[in-house]
A and B are shown apart, each in its own frame.
Chain A
Amino acid sequence: MSDLKPVILCIEDDPQIRRFLRTGLGAQGFEFREAETGELGISETAARNPDLVILDLGLPDLEGVEVVKRLREWTNLPILVLSARSLEGEKIAALDAGADDYLTKPFSLGELLARIRVALRHARGGGPDGASVFGVASLKVDLSRRQVLVDGQTVHLTPIEYRLLTALIKHAGMVLTHRQLLKEVWGPNHLQDSHYLRIYMAQLRHKLEADPAQPRFLLTEVGVGYRLAVE
């Protein structure tokens, strides 16, 4: 039945993009809903209770951040924002306001589907949160035992490195802004010290990655934050 299909609401003013998403996502087994403006999108979300919202940040009526904030007042459903390149500030603001992930236009359907999958998994409470062991390729982290293995070898991490890694694992596959990571690992007093984060991330890469200059797991989202690869 159709009630098994995940419902995706797309808030986007450009008809061509909506058309492309309708076709693409429809073919992938999603139920697709559309809204042209921020206000319509918010009321539609309340009415339809979708599983995920795709939100364009360049809406004619409302600031993207504003829409995210108003949705976050009452729902935890995953929000995926779309934005043009070179508007990093806008993306970060949306992410810090509670959006779960972002995509830069132009994007491919494949990228979008991957993001949706991750977001839905998180929303369902599945994924790493439930399991005590996280693994991707040669990296294995046993959260209950606080053990980190690369290629079966134990790696020694400092407390901060470990906290950083677990923060990323908690949101595996999703982007975390510098601010979010700083807050989670160092606490609210170090939100401006993004170089702390960069130094520890580099250390972590040197311990976990085969080639730290071409990382496999700990990916950089330039100007925004970091993402732990899941595939």
Chain B
Amino acid sequence: MKSQPHRRPDPDALLARAAREDAKRKRGRLKIFLGAAAGVGKTFAMLLDARKKQAEGAKVLVGLVETHGRSETAVLLEGLSLLPPRTLEYQGARLEEFDLDGALAQRRGLILVDELAHTNAPGSRHAKRWQDVEELLEAGIDVFTTLNVQHIESLRDVVGQITGIRVWETVPDTFFDRADEVELVDLPPDELLERLREGKVYVPEQAKHAIENFFRKGNLIALREMSLRRTADRVDSQMQDYREDHAIRQVWPVAERILVCLGPGGQGERLVRAGRRLATALRGEWIAVYVETPALQRLASEERDRILMTLRLAEQLGAETLTLSGPEMSEEIIALAQQRNVTKVVMGRSRRSGWKRWLLGSVVDAVARAARDFDLYLVGGEEPEAGGASASGPEAGQRRGAPGITEMRRSSPRRTRGYPWSLVVTVACTLAGWALLGVLAPSNLIMIYLVGVVFVAARFGLGPSILASILSVAAFDFFFVPPYLTFAVSDTQYLVTFVVMLIVAVVISNLTANVRLQARVAGYRERRASSLYAMTKALIVTRQEEEVIRIATQHIEAEFECRTAILITGEDGRVTKASGSPSSRAPLEADLGVAQWVTDHGQEAGRGTDTLAGSQATYFPIRGSIGVVGVLALAVPNLRRIFVPEQRRLLEAFLTLFAEALERVRLAQKAQSTQVRAETESLRNALLSAISHDLRTPLATIVGASSSLVEDTGRLTPPAKEELSRTIYEEAQRMASLANNILDMARLDAGKVSLNFQWVPLEEIVGSVMARLRRRLEGHPVGVTLAPDLPLVRLDAVMMEQVLVNLLENAAKYTPSGTRIEVAGHQSADGKWLEVTVADRGPGIPEGEAERLFEKFYRVPSQRESAQSGVGLGLAISRAILQAHGGEIEARNRPGGGAEISLRLPLEEGPPVPDPEEAVTKES
């Protein structure tokens, strides 16, 4: 085709191969012993090979081998360790099954599991044995297994056609193709029949029956050919890999792309298998598509389920599956074919035939007309027997057992309501025509009826519109066509009128029905988009993991009308239940075991899937950018709600959104904790520097002054001694208050402070502060103005005293001696707050620093550095204390110069106050 032949290997292909090999290295190796039929000696060959491996030193475990009573096979089992089978009761019968958990627990290097296509008994973890094997492989265990060719999924139809026997137990081709080794165990048909007759395969009576049915020579030859061909195919594809590796490219210049178009009707599976065979033969990729037209949306839900099953089958067989919707099937198919460079289109035979096909056309014809860029393959075959030919095994039964489906109810009440309207409209038209009788010619009067019919067709659909056209013609005939007031028609041309009316009614009602359906489909899409949008919007503003989970749960439950639970995968890969309160009234009890399996394997499990299908809910992995971040458990009353392709896509979109939100929140939390750590670090540094500076300075003074006194040899004068002593005293006081501040801050930061709330008058606190600071405030006149009758305020007196001490000390510290300090207290205008201000006439607060004053270790920059003492914690402590009281504190400059710190404390309803007493004079 368009691509030129390369000498170098395609890098993408090499990368894909590298990834595959990488995965393979961790995966166990799978060897399949393939045979044409039972009895060719697969198990025998497998056991021989296993014995060889054991002799080479491999740790071999016989997981499950069915000897069918063949002694030569049984002999080979000797010396190999056997895994005891798991026995379970099912409908009174004791069944023996392969014990998967036991096998996993043994951690052997190689496990033998016979009969790959076997269907497990209900209640097992997986529906099929090949899924058990898959799990073994994923656990890194090598597996030997056996398989008969008729059990390969894509060969099922062919086998059925040749042998006339339907095979129910199948293994997907993808699984078969991924086997690392396939060994063909071949036996010519005559020899097989000989063995059969000798009773080496079955016990004699069984053997006789078998020879007459399945083991006819013709069948055996065909099956043998199939197995040989299939093995040859594998060799071929190995050859292709080899060529890719070695840059031999020209041989396969064109990538074939096959498009399989599925429609309603029973040939879906046949089409899928044909597509698969074609794709394998041509080594192309293949797409299975289903185009849902408005007409198909009206199909019965069983039909839609069948299509769904077919799509799933295609997916299992390695196809990419798509569901499109559009008005015309052929257009969508042609558009898709062009867009994806499809080379071959596979379709079923047209279902329309004869005049219908000629009149209405068929999809096949329409596609055939457009088939310039691709080849068109039509798959023949009769419609298979009705019912569940499409499904296989226990899952099918289960699915059919699902509760009734309630989607898109078609019998709308509007339709039945339409019939009376047909009558009403006809009567109205007749009256209008009667009124206009003199004005309009009879041929134009019919137009009035036409309008009426169009109206009914548009509003009420096909039935009422046909009724309306019949009534109209009758009324027109009765009232306006001579002979009047009879149904007799004198002029045959009115028959034409009747036919035209009928056609118009049918066409218009069909058109409007389609439009309405399209609108409804658009409405569904719109709703899906808007529910996604709603969740996105809700998730964007969340900051908490619990919140994300709650929102996602809520939206998913609302959208899918189900009960859900989200489980979270931790960093260690363990699944845990999400914390926080459940959002729904009846939270789903999720099974942690199933969820863990889903996390480990990254695949869905539970109800409606192949794994652990017995669970109450269906479990979906939630994939983030770095793997599975959680598991969604969904319990829907009707599985269709989540397995219809469009719903599936919606669910996946929900999960992607959720995963993204979760990862975002987690990253944000990580970033925040890093930031907090950095802040703590910088705080610690600030503290250290503050301590080293503010503790060392007074210490240096104390050591210096006291050493002068200690080492004095009588030369210090008494005033000098007193000066030194005073210095020591004052510096020690400074250190004491510093230590207090640092301790307070530490206690407040650690949240260790429990406030001792009491009802206290503000006056009392101010009083004790003034008494405590009497000496420090010398040189600053302090004016205290407290409003009379201030209510009691509930606070921790010790803490609040500290706040006022800090504020007054600051005021004294930062203002020149002799300036006045004002302390004022009053109730706010609305009576809800007690406001206290401490104001000075100092230099004020530098521009823009008002907020920073309350930061820890912040000090107002000043030239008089030495004059300040303290670490810059006083205001930070004050703010912390105020916040603990539900109050506020802020700083601003005063009009007229100076700074003002004001704090607000909430006033609550006071405590019961003692009854006022009468004043009793105490005098003689």
Inter-subunit contact B764/A202 (CB<8 Å) = yes
- With CB as the reference atom, state the residue of chain A lying closest to B744: A86
CA distance A147 to B770 in the complex (A): 30
A130 in the interface (beta carbon within 8 A): no
CA distance A147 to B924 in the complex (A): 7
Inter-subunit contact A214/B759 (CB<8 Å) = no
**Most chain B CB inside 10 Å of its own CB: which residue of A85, A145, A147:** A85
A138 in the interface (beta carbon within 8 A): no
A106/B736 contact (C-beta < 8 A), A88-B798, A199-B792, A220-B768 known: yes
A199/B913 contact (C-beta < 8 A), A156-B920, A212-B763, A214-B784 known: yes
CA distance A198 to B910 in the complex (A): 13
- With CB as the reference atom, state the residue of chain B lying closest to A213: B784
Inter-subunit contact B767/A214 (CB<8 Å) = yes
| 8 A Cβ contacts from B732-763 to A | 732-733, 736, 740, 743-744, 747, 756, 758-761, 763
Return chain A residues, CB-CB under 8 Å to B840.
none
Inter-subunit contact A157/B797 (CB<8 Å) = no
Return chain B residues, CB-CB under 8 Å to A221.
768
Chain B min CB distance to A101 (Å) = 17
Which of A88, A157, A199, A205 meets B922, CB within 8 Å? A157
A-contact bits for B131-151, CB 8 A (1 contact / 0 none): 000000000000000000000
Inter-subunit contact A223/B767 (CB<8 Å) = no
Return chain B residues, CB-CB under 8 Å to A146.
922-924
Return chain A residues, CB-CB under 8 Å to B923.
145-147, 154
Which of B743, B764, B914 meets A220, CB within 8 Å? B764
The segment from A6-14, A23-31, A158-166 that touches chain B is: A158-166
- With CB as the reference atom, state the residue of chain A lying closest to B740: A85
Inter-subunit contact A198/B924 (CB<8 Å) = no
A195 in the interface (beta carbon within 8 A): yes
A132 in the interface (beta carbon within 8 A): no
- With CB as the reference atom, state the residue of chain B lying closest to A161: B917
Which of A156, A211, A212, A213 meets B921, CB within 8 Å? A156
- With CB as the reference atom, state the residue of chain B lying closest to A154: B923
Chain B min CB distance to A37 (Å) = 26
Return chain A residues, CB-CB under 8 Å to B758.
194-195, 198
- With CB as the reference atom, state the residue of chain B lying closest to A206: B763
Chain B min CB distance to A219 (Å) = 6
Return chain B residues, CB-CB under 8 Å to A194.
758-759
- With CB as the reference atom, state the residue of chain A lying closest to B762: A213
Chain A min CB distance to B921 (Å) = 5
Inter-subunit contact B771/A223 (CB<8 Å) = no
B11 in the interface (beta carbon within 8 A): no
Inter-subunit contact B784/A211 (CB<8 Å) = yes
Return chain A residues, CB-CB under 8 Å to B920.
156-159, 162
Chain A min CB distance to B812 (Å) = 16
- With CB as the reference atom, state the residue of chain B lying closest to A148: B922
A222 in the interface (beta carbon within 8 A): yes
Return chain B residues, CB-CB under 8 Å to A222.
765, 768, 797-798, 801
Which of B759, B911, B919 meets A157, CB within 8 Å? B919
Inter-subunit contact A213/B766 (CB<8 Å) = yes
B205 in the interface (beta carbon within 8 A): no
Which of A157, A219, A223 meets B798, CB within 8 Å? A223
Return chain A residues, CB-CB under 8 Å to B918.
158
Inter-subunit contact B924/A145 (CB<8 Å) = yes
Return chain A residues, CB-CB under 8 Å to B764.
198, 201-202, 220
Inter-subunit contact B913/A159 (CB<8 Å) = no
CA distance A223 to B604 in the complex (A): 64
A-contact bits for B885-923, CB 8 A (1 contact / 0 none): 000000000000000000000000001011001111111
Chain A min CB distance to B780 (Å) = 14
B-contact bits for A99-129, CB 8 A (1 contact / 0 none): 0000000101000000000000000000000
Inter-subunit contact A196/B914 (CB<8 Å) = yes
A-contact bits for B755-797, CB 8 A (1 contact / 0 none): 0101111011111101100000000000010100000100001
A60 in the interface (beta carbon within 8 A): no
Return chain A residues, CB-CB under 8 Å to B798.
86, 88, 222-223
Inter-subunit contact B914/A158 (CB<8 Å) = no
Chain B min CB distance to A112 (Å) = 14
CA distance A219 to B764 in the complex (A): 9
A188 in the interface (beta carbon within 8 A): no
Return chain A residues, CB-CB under 8 Å to B792.
195, 198-199
Return chain B residues, CB-CB under 8 Å to A215.
767, 771
A-B contact pairs, 28 of them (CB 8 A): A85-B740, A86-B747, A88-B798, A106-B736, A108-B729, A147-B923, A147-B924, A148-B922, A156-B921, A160-B914, A160-B917, A194-B758, A194-B759, A195-B792, A198-B760, A198-B764, A199-B913, A202-B761, A202-B764, A212-B767, A213-B784, A213-B786, A214-B767, A220-B765, A221-B768, A222-B768, A222-B797, A222-B798
List the 4 shortest-distance A-B pairs measured between CB atoms, nearest first.
A195-B759, A146-B922, A223-B798, A220-B768
With A147-B923, A156-B921 already in contact, 13 other A-B pairs whose C-beta atoms are closer than 8 Å: A86-B798, A106-B732, A148-B922, A154-B921, A157-B920, A159-B917, A162-B920, A195-B759, A195-B913, A201-B764, A214-B766, A220-B768, A223-B756
